[in-house]
Amino acid sequence: MAAGCRWCDVEIETAEQLGADQVKAALAPARLLISAHDFRRLPQNLPAILKRLEAYGGGAIKIAAACRSLTEARRLLELARGRPEVVVVPIGEDMLGARILALRQGSALAYAPVAQSTAPGQIPFEEIERVYRLRRRFGKSKAGINPQTKLYGVIGDPVAHSLSPLLHNAGFAARNKNGVYVPFHVRDLPDFVAGIGPFQIAGFSVTLPHKERILRYLDDCEPLASEIGAVNTVVVRRGKLYGYNTDFIGVLRAIERRLPLSSSSVLLIGAGGAARAAAFALARAGAAVSIWARRPRRARALAWKVGGEAIDRREIASRSFDAIVNCTPVGLYPGGGSPLEARELNCRLVMDLIYRPLKTELLRRAERRGIETISGVDMFVAQGVAQWELWMGESAPETVMRRVLLAELHKEEASLRR
C-alpha cells in the first residue's frame, strides 16, 4: 500500500485473525479484496464461503479453488454471474481455458504472472496479450471479453502444445470478431459435452484422442466425416452438435501440390483419427495407400475401408514409396523422436502432420537423405482455415493466420537452438 498499490488482497484467515476494522485501518486508503483459497478441492459450501468473505466489507471478494472437471469449474464460475465485485479463479493444470472463461462468465479479473507462475494453470501475461488479446474492445464494451463474446476452443488430451488458439484468435482479431478460442484439456469427454450448453460454446476443434470418440455425442455429421469415422470440427447450431472433418482438406491441399496422387504410392504411419482422414483423402485422389500402425488390427480395418493394404513394420525398409506420411504424435513437441529409422525412408517425399516443432526428427532424417519434405504447417493451416470458415460463415484471413503461426514456430525454433 505504501508503494502506491490501490488494491490489497487479504486472505480470509488474516482478516478473521485481525478483524475487519484493524485490516481496513492498516491498509487504508487501499481498497480490499477479501479472498479464500483451496488448493486441494472445490469446497461444497460455496455460498457460505461467499458470506464469510462479504462480512469483512471489502471492495471485492475472491474464491480461488482447485477444480478437477469442467463441471466443477462451472459451479465456481456461476458465483460471478451478475456480480461485478466477485472474482473466481479455477485452479489446476487442466483449467487454463476455464481461467479465460471466468472473465466471459463475469469474473471481475483474472490473474496472469509476468514472471514465474504462482498457481497451476496460469497463463503468462505475455501470452494473454499476444494470443488471446483479452483487452481488445468491441463497440461500447469496456473489456475485450464479455458475455457477448462467442466461445470456441480445442479439446484434447494433451492440449497444451496446440497452437490452434494462436491461429484462430489471430483470425478473429484480423476480422474484428468478438470471439475467443481457448484450449480445454479434456480427459472426460462426457464432462466437456455437458458444459457445451451452459457455457454457450459455439464450436470447437477436436484433437487426440477424441476424434473418433466425439461421434457418439453428435446430433448430425457430414457424410464424409461419418465415412471416415473421425471428426476434427464441431459446429453448435441451436444447441445441436454437427460434426465435420477438415483434416481431409488439409492433407489434400498440402500434398497434391507436390505429387501426382493418381499415380503415386503412399505409406501412412498410424491408424488414428488423422490417419483415417489422410487415408480417405489420398485414396479418393487415386493414390495407392499402404498403412502401418502399432495396432495391426486397426491398420487392417482402415486399409480395407479405403481399398489399400496393411503392411508389417519389417516390410518398410525393403519397399519404396512415392511418399511417406506420419499421422502419429511421435515427434510432437516437446517429446521428440521419430516413428521411422532413416534406413526405412525409401521415398521421394516425407510429410509429417506434426507442425510443432516446425522440423521434426523424422523430417531431419529425410533431409539428411536428400528427400523432399513437407512440414505439418501446410496441413494445419488449411484445416484450420476450413474450420474458421465453418464457424464464421465467411472467408478466413488465411495470410494473417499463416504469418502469425510461422512467426511463432520460427521464434520457438530459434530459442531451442540457443
The residues carrying an active-site annotation are 211
Instruction: Give a three-class secondary structure readout of 131-153.
Output: HHCCCCCCCCCCCCCCCCCEEEE
- Residue whose C-alpha cell is 532413416: 342
Q: What is the DSSP letter of 45?
A: -
SS3 234: strand
SS3 38: strand
List the alpha helices (DSSP H) in 40-161: 46-54, 70-77, 96-104, 125-127
CA angle at 234 for the pair 232 and 236, rounded to the nearest 5°: 175
**Cα separations in angstroms, 331 against 96, 232, 339, 340, 360:** 24, 20, 7, 10, 6
User: How is residue 160 written as a grid cell?
Assistant: 497444451
CB 28 within 8 A of CB 20: no
